[in-house]
Every structure is written in structure tokens, then in C-alpha cells.
Chains A and B, each alone.
Chain A
Amino acid sequence: MERKNQNPIIQWIVKTKILGILFFVVIGAFVIYALGQALTNNPSLFLQQVVNGLQLGFVYALIALGYTMIYGIVRLINFAHGDVFMVGAFTSFFTISRFNLHLWFQNLFPSFPAMPAQIIGAITVVLASMAICALLAFTIEKIAYKPLREAPRISALITAIGISFFLEYFGALNFVFTPNYITYKRPFEVKSWFIGPSGFGTIESGVTSPSNSIIFSNIFVIIVLASLSLLLVLQYIVKRTKIGKAMRAVAYDKPTARLMGINSDAVISITFALGAALAGAAGVLYAIAYPQVYFTMGIIPGMKAFVAAVVGGIGSIPGAFIGALIMGQAETLSAAYISTPMRDAIAFSLLVIVLLIRPKGIMGEIASEKV
């Protein structure tokens, strides 16, 4: 039986929660020390990793948004989301290498300046992938999740796992995506720049960049721009439009939303489609950045994005974004300074630590249950 603590030392320990705090402080101090060490030892290498991490983080953010929206509205961990991302990457692979979709504008108007024509082509590729993914998720939702809306929550989770297996292994069939690693053809040429103590400049092919400088490419710029603009579009949809309002209403209280005349099934379908469209875009960007596509490519990024969504506070759009950026950093930094295979373990350890400090994620709201 619990009694009043008599010993003042124990009282102090309980009151200040010192042991738990000390535990985290030790871990935190170690991490900060290690990062500080890395930064002072070789600043350019460290900053280069940060840039790489940002690039990865912005891709993760797009996937994480889908996770967070779907969880927010139907409380389903949509394990098939990572595979939708994979389909997005493959769609762009086919549209580029089979149909030359990225060249349609140039072919139609050969006299148009090359740069904007390229951009229009690339945007078309992304939009095509987004559309296909949205359609796919819409279908999946209709077949696999909608009939289970009234069933226990776990049933939908199991079908999500089933859909995930199906997309992967159907994709692995020889007449679909094949089980091989396929080199991806980018819809534009890569240009790289360096920035550092020796100034700013373009890196010509075959020339090494000056030492102590940070390299970044147009891929980085494109990913950041695309990701941010999609985030803004999404934020606009959720906050400003009627459908966004309906989404928030359904997420908050489905039965009441239904009583208020909101077609909650339609809203849920649209949410799935929207999330999948973002995952499709992420698939294209990921394939552009790491030009290789294969049928299980969605698992790990999907998992990481999911972790990001949880770290940020699942259900919160800015949270997913922040979480994704943290995940990107954690991954590149741990790959650079600890070891590449350990990066998944680091990502999940980070998740656990964040959950212990903030049980609902960084931006998550702690809702207490009414008794």
C-alpha cells in the first residue's frame, strides 16, 4: 500500500522527477556533444549532411501528411500508404521512359524556351502520378476499408496490411513492375552548385568541387519547392475550403458531422485520395533524388514517414512536417556519424524517446477522456 513518503530525499526525488529527467539529460547531452563534435571537426561535412537530411525530410513530409490525415479522420494506420508511394514512383517511371510525358510540351512547341518547357513537363509527370495514386487509393478505400467502417478497428488494419502485401507482390510480378531494381530516368538534367568559403558556383561535370563547400543540386531546390507548395495547397484545402471544413468536422466527431448533413463517406474517400496524391508526388520526388525504383521501395520510407507523423503528433499537419524534417536529419546524421545500418534503429529510438517525453507527439494535443 502506498503511504506518505517520510524520507526527505525520496520526497525530493519524487517531486522533481529528477531520475527520469537525468536519464534524458544524459542521452540529450551525449547527442548534443556528438553533434557539436561533428560540427566543429568538419563543418562542411556536417552541413552537407544537414542539406541531405532536409532533402529527405521534405520527401518524408509529403508521405507523412497522408498518414496523418488518414489517421486523423478514420483512426487507421494505413500501412498501404508506403506502397501507394511506390506506385507513384513507378507511374512516373513508366510515363517518363515509355511515354516521354516529360517531353510533351517541348515536342508540341519546339520553339518554346527549354527551361520552362522542362518545368512544365516535369510538373505534368508529377500530376499524372498524383492522379493515378489518388485513383488507386480511392479504389482501395472503396474495396477494402469502407465495408469495414463499422467493424472493429483492427479489421481495417489487417486489410491495410493485406493491401500493402498485394501492391508489393502484385508489383513484383514480371509483367507489372518486375522484382528487379530499375534505374530511374530523371525528367530533367541534374545541375549542381557549391557554396562555401571559396564562394558560390556551378559544378561542371568531371570537375570536383572545391573543398570545404556544400554541394546542392536542382533536385534539392525542386524537392523543397514542390514539397512546400503542396503543403500550402493542402493547408489551404483543409483550412479554407468547404471540403476541408467537412474533413475537420468528420475527424472531430463522425456521428455528429453526419447529423449535420456531411456525407462522411465521401469526405473520407476524398481524404484518402488527397493523401495518396501527396504520396504519389513524394514517390516521384524520391525517385528523382535516389534514381532507383523497385517493388519494396515504399516500405522503409513509408515507415519513416509514419514515424515522422507520430513524432510530430499524428493528426496535425504542421506536426507531420516538423516530424518529417526531424526524421530526415536523424537519418542522414546517424548514417554519416554512427553507421548506415543503424539509422532505422536510431529513427525508432528517437520515436520512443519523443513519445516518452510527449506521449502524443510534438504538436499532438493531449485529450483527456471524459469519465
Chain B
Amino acid sequence: MKKINKSTIFFLIGAALVYVIVQTLASLKIINTFWETILLLAGVMAIVSLGLNLIYGFNGQFSLGQYGFYAIGAYTAADITYRWTQLHSAEGLTVVFFIAILTAITIVVVQKAVSKIRGLDTLSAFAMYLAVVLAAIFAAVKLGQLVANPITALLNLLPAKTAQMIVYVIAIILGGAIAAEVSFLYGLPILTLGSDYFGIATLGFTIIVKVLLDNSDTMLGFQEMKGARGMIGIPKLTNWTWIFIFLFLTIVFIRNLLNSSYGRAIVSIREDETAATSMGINVPFYKTITFVIGSFLAGMAGGLYAHVNGFLHPNTFSFVKSFDPLIIVVFGGLGSVTGTVTASFGWALVLEGVLRLVLPDGFETWRYVVYPILLLIMMLLKPNGLFGNYEIPFIRSIVPPLKDKANNEKKSEEVA
């Protein structure tokens, strides 16, 4: 029972090697900061795209909203660490923490209540959730402000570096949590729409978020986000180690989820929704949970991204850019974790790195002319993506061998 699979060992060794090699090269300055930043971006992109692949590649829900949740995560996390480092206050941390917790609790409570009511329409359910969540947020803000000072004092007892790291990690997870909760509320009514309409509604979400961020200082009242001028002063805390840890955990998480009965339930919805629901799969629940998990990953990646450059601008999250994860997912192969991770790194290295270096002086503007041509050629040559649905053995689901069961064998012969 306790034996570890060969493929698991290979995967762990491979992952460790990747980490060590990059880390050594970076510390020896063989990889300069330019390439290191690209690697960080690639890792962030991989997490975002894995989230999208879960939603689209495995669950079959065509979502264009991934960048909206990415933006929410980025700004949430950035605001928390900004307040900690620049304003020396844990207020952001406590408020967002209570919002995340109280919202989650209310959602679960309402969910329990709603599931007892037979035949409640989605919009009524949505209205209920919305009302309760708004109340929860209001309470959370008050509660968060109340405990902000004691928590600040408590964190100040720790060494500055440790305290900052704690705030940073919690900020990233809270970024994911807030994105997940928003996705739950938004997904609730729109997940009942058909696939393309869901895509359009999520695209709308990206645009709405971008517009709100453009006006974050005036309309939302977050002065430090500085609206369309871009948010500055975020500590640059994301490094290769953090990216690696989060990416590694994401891959293992997705692999474990997909290779379980829950993962199979998620995939069955992509394969045939009617058949899945007729076989006892709670389709709305699994659609929602997949969308929420995918958005959580996007939000988490957003938190990591915010601390790469220490600078956030709403234009990073414009809807034109929001096609990037979609391109990566399709490029790597829908429903392939391996493909998505490979494609993310390939995409970042080629688009951000190679194309910048290869193009001669005076031809920098050609970058976005060459990129679509490459994309087009790729798509025409490999319409199913680089990997199709291939997976490395570690991620691939295993079909266990048949156990010898003499009596059963006999019965089946009888029948046939």
C-alpha cells in the first residue's frame, strides 16, 4: 500500500531539478533579471492557464473571464501588502481576511438553506446570495477595522522580514479567495447559460473589472490603486522560489483532483452534460465548483504577479490581453495539464524573450506582427494543440489492472 509510484518519483526528481537548475543559474547571474522576470511571468501564466484549462479544457465551460479574476486577485493582494509595507497597517489584511471568511460562511449557510427548497429559480437564489453576502461584507469591514490595530501590533512583534513574508503569503491566498467568491456569485446565474453565452458573459466580466480598475481611485475609493495611472509601491516579493512552490502545488492539486471521482465528474460534464446529469452527477454544483477553483487559481496567480514588478496597471487586464490564457490553453492542448504548463513557458519565452531579442533594431514593433503569424501557423498545423490530451505519466489517470475473480469470470461467460 505504501509503495510510491515510479512516475511520482520521476516527477518529483524532475521538478526538483528544474527548481535547482533555475535557482543556481539565477544566483550565478547566468540568467539575468530580464530572463528571470520572464520565467516568473511564465510561472504566473501557467497557474492562470491551468485554472482556465480546468474550467474550459476539463469542464467544457468556455470562459473568457480568467483575466477578470486574475485582476481581482492581483489588486487584492497588492492592496494588502501595500498597506502593510507603505502604511504599516494590517488593516487591509484583516478586512480582506474577514470578508473572505464571512462571505464563505454565509455562502455555505445560504447554500444549505437553498438546497432544501425544491425548484427555486437561479435568479431568486442569486438575489438571496447577493443580499446576504453584501451584509456579510459590511460586517466584515467593521470587524476587520476593529482588530486591525491589535493584529498590526502582533505582527510587529515578529522580525520585519518574517512578518512581511506572512503578510505576502496570506495576501496571495486571500487574493485567490476573493476571486473565487466573486466567481461564485457571478457564476451562479450565468453558468446556466449555454457555452458560448457563458463565454460572452465572462468576457463582459473582464471588461467590467477593467473599467472599475480604471476608476478604482474615484469610483471605488481606493486612493492607493491610483486608477488608470497604475498602482505603484507594491513590494517586489515574488521570486523563483515562490513561483515554483505555488506552481508545484497547483499541478499536484489539479492532478489529484482530476484523478479522483470528483475529477471524473467534472470531465463527464464536458463529455456529455445530459448523460452526466442522468447518471447522477450534480451538474450545476460541479460547474460552479470548477469555475470557483479555476478562478481561485487565477486570483492566486494575480497575487503572485502583483509582486513581480511591483507595479499594476489596468491595461494589463484589458480584454485583448485576456485572450492570452485561452491561447495558451488551446495551444498546449485542451484538457492537458502538461501541455498548458509547457505552452505557458514556451509562450512567455518566445513572446516576451526571443521575439524581443531576435528582431533587429527598428523592428521592435514587428513583434506583434510575427506573433499572430506564428499563432496562425501553429493552429493550422496542430488544430488540437501541441499535446492534444497527452499527459506525462504522473498526471495521467491510470487504469488499474483487473483483479482475478474466478467466480465473476464464470458468471460473465454464462451471460455471454
Contacts and interface: CB of A to CB of B under 8 A. Distances in A.
Interface residues of A, number: 60
Contacts of A174: 365
**Interface centre among A165, A307, A371, by most B CB within 10 Å?**
A165
Q: Which secondary structure characterizes the binding site on chain A? A: helix
Interface residues of B, number: 60
A162 B215 CA distance: 30
A162 B38 CA distance: 22
Summarize B's interface: helix, strand, loop or mixed: helix
A158 B120 CA distance: 38
B126 interface: yes
B379 A162 contact: yes
Interface stretch (A47-55, A93-101, A239-247, A355-363): A355-363
Contact of A18 (B124, B193, B201, B383): B124
Nearest to A356: B189
A3 B115 CA distance: 10
Nearest to A151: B383
Nearest to A310: B200
Contact of A355 (B117, B197, B212, B367): B197
B123 A348 contact: no
B39 to A, nearest CB: 24
A155 interface: yes
B375 interface: yes
A152 B194 CA distance: 17
B190 interface: yes
Contacts, number: 165
B208 A22 contact: no
Contacts of B121: 14, 17, 20
B167 interface: no
Contacts of A169: 365, 367-369, 372
B376 interface: yes
B118 interface: yes
B190 A352 contact: yes
Interface string A1-26: 01111000010011001111111100
A120 interface: no
A152 B379 contact: no
Interface string B292-325: 0000000000000000000000000001100100
B401 interface: no
Contact of A19 (B127, B211, B330): B127
Nearest to A167: B372
A17 B124 CA distance: 6
Contacts of B120: 13-14
Nearest to B128: A19
A166 B196 contact: no
Nearest to B214: A341
A158 B319 CA distance: 14
Interface in A45-93: 75, 77
Contact of B380 (A22, A24, A159, A172): A159
A222 B145 CA distance: 59
Given A20-B127, A23-B126, A351-B204, A166 B117 contact: no
B177 to A, nearest CB: 23
Contacts of A265: none
Interface of B: 62, 115-128, 130, 189-190, 192-194, 196-197, 199-201, 203-205, 207-208, 211-212, 214-215, 219, 228, 274, 319-320, 323, 326-327, 330-331, 334, 365-369, 371-373, 375-376, 379-380, 383-384
Interface of A: 2-5, 10, 13-14, 17-24, 75, 77, 143-144, 147-148, 151-152, 154-155, 158-159, 161-166, 168-170, 172-174, 179, 299, 303, 306-307, 310, 339, 341-342, 344-345, 348-349, 351-352, 355-356, 359-360, 369, 371
Listed from nearest, the 7 A-B pairs whose CB atoms lie closest are A20-B123, A151-B383, A348-B204, A19-B124, A169-B368, A166-B372, A345-B211
29 contacts: A5-B119, A13-B124, A14-B117, A17-B123, A19-B124, A20-B123, A20-B126, A23-B124, A24-B123, A151-B384, A155-B383, A158-B379, A162-B373, A165-B371, A166-B372, A166-B373, A168-B368, A173-B369, A174-B365, A341-B215, A342-B219, A348-B205, A349-B208, A352-B205, A355-B197, A355-B201, A356-B123, A360-B197, A369-B274
